Structure 1
Amino acid sequence: MGPHGNRGAPLRALVASGIAELRPDPARPRGWTLLVNGVPQSYVDLADPGHLEFPYEIQLGAVLRLWTGTAVREKILHLGGGGLTLPRFIDHLRPGAEQLVVERDPQILAMVERNLPFPGSIEVRLGDARTELAKAGNAEYGLIVSDVFVGAAMPESVAAAGFARDARRALRDDGLLAMNLTDVPPLARTRIQVATARTAFDEIVLYGDADVLRGRRVGNVILLAGNVPMIKAGKHETVLRADELRIFTGGARPLLDEPR
């Protein structure tokens, strides 16, 4: 007889942006979903950090497997913490990897630390993603993962051209930026994000579910910029690069920073 599912009770807490909930997975004994205001943010299996549940996490995981296969002691910056799913995943692939996670909400961090403990080798810092990126040294990181959302929306501070320039400066010449985007048909925000990333990076790739990239449904898309590994798309996935990506982007204009 197989193991019983997770019988833990849901946990809720007031956080800066509303209500956070840790919901047990009835199918996995130590699996939990982190939601903020009812929107799923992260999935963590405490028994198996190599398990990724959400489709976008699986796609990012595929990219990170390719990246960690060639990286040697690279520093990694995660912008957006949530349940620390991807930092745990990388620590599982490369135990003791040097990782810094920036999380803006102290209540979410406290909830995760208390209920979903993570490896001590992962450093977590409270702060604003854009501000912390601006503080990074030149060519300090080999990989930057941006997964910053307020509810279901990505704030403009990490979507504008200044963010792309800061990321390019903070990455090594052979570094990689991986951004989780979410969009609705006809993917206007994604097209703008590609145009914005082009202000700082020469090579850009979009990777995601084929129906999402065809504008048939709402979903997540992974934007990769810099030294992008060769990705083999799955049966229901699409990879857009080069001419296909230029056609997709069309005449979209980059998002510029508001004057300060």
Structure 2
Amino acid sequence: MSKQRRNQKQSAVNIEPGIYEIDSGTAEIKPDPFTPGAWVLLLNGVQSSQIIPDEPQRLGFEYMRWIAIALGFRYPQDANLRFLHLGGAAATLARWGADRYPNSRHTTVEMDAKLTELARNNFGLPRAPIVKMRVAEAGEVLAETRPESWDVIIRDVFIGTTRGDHITPMHLTGLEAAEKAASAVGPNGAYLINYGGSPNLNPAREEAAALAQAFKHVTLISDATMFKGRRRGNIVMVGTQTPLANPDLGGMDAFTAALRAEPLPAQAKFGAATANFIAGTPPSLTPLLLRQEQP
């Protein structure tokens, strides 16, 4: 990338560090102490996003890199892709996708209007129609999607609880949500979930079971420690109707090799390994439009 192009990208970013009032509490923007030139967004004290203004394809969070790897082995760079991002925050993955796939279009969905405005004003996001930012509830947006109206749906939605942790609202985790996403992305699309939870993997198995009823192929991505239920962390779950990795882009062997090459080596479960992970667990049947009270 030329120096001139880097300067053009940086000039579009107007990051103002500080603590901001948002609808759901407070947001803080501050320099990342571990990555020069990067910023972190904290929501109510919890790290939510990392932003590297002049390098949108450089992703600091492991689960975001796993999502990028998965999509990179499924779609060529010149693909015309329609992305729906359920969960907005700093729109880091929308910035990544707009840069990685120049012909793509992105819509982010975030219920917090002030957070959406903060992201738009600070993080140099491409303007509509490349990145549209919608203030709405993710379940309601998913429920109204038409068949084959998106190519990629990424669910990255968490809410704070009275216990001080963060969970995905239950109405987004059940079979109805998975089936609606499967209809929305059609036979060639992909539905990606950022699952985050404790060492108790039963909720993760329920989510994977829901995907397995809605999609022919379910790929699970995480590190070995998380898969063994030894720590709190993330699992990226991908539902597709065809094998995740495109043979023309290297196929599943190249995909799994790329995961192993990560700074924290990751692994993928698919086929029989996914079936073993689910191990007969039934999916949640929570209706998609049931609004949950905050725990």
Instruction: Give the structure-2-normalised TM-score.
Output: 0.80
> How far apart, in 1, do the equivalents of 2:77 and 2:57 lie?
18
Give the equivalent residue in structure 2 for 1:5.
none
Give the equivalent residue in structure 2 for 1:131.
140
Q: CA deviation at 1:154?
A: 0.6
Give the equivalent residue in structure 1 for 2:211.
197
Distance change >3 Å, CA 70–CA 25, structure 1 → 2: closer
CA contact under 8 A between 2:77 and 2:100: conserved in structure 1? no
**Alignment of 1:25 onto 2:32:** yes
1:74-223 equivalences in 2 (<5 Å): 74-120=81-127, 121-151=130-160, 152-223=166-237
Q: How many residues align?
A: 253
> How far apart, in 1, do the equivalents of 2:171 and 2:41 lie?
23
Q: CA deviation at 1:141?
A: 1.2
Q: CA deviation at 1:224?
A: 0.5
Q: CA deviation at 1:79?
A: 0.8
Q: Which has the higher strand share?
A: 1
Give the equivalent residue in structure 2 for 1:64.
71
Structure 1 window deviating more from structure 2 (172-181 vs 59-68): it is 59-68
> How far apart, in 2, do the equivalents of 1:149 and 1:75 lie?
23
Match of 1:198, SS state, is: helix
CA contact under 8 A between 1:141 and 1:171: conserved in structure 2? yes
Q: CA deviation at 1:143?
A: 0.9
Indicate the percent of aligned positions where both proteins have the same amino acid: 27
Structure 1 window deviating more from structure 2 (121-130 vs 243-252): it is 243-252
CA contact under 8 A between 2:79 and 2:104: conserved in structure 1? no
Amino acid at match of 1:198: A
Higher RCO (CA 8 Å, separation ≥ 6 residues): 2
Match of 1:73, SS state, is: coil
Q: CA deviation at 1:153?
A: 0.8
Give the equivalent residue in structure 1 for 2:58.
51
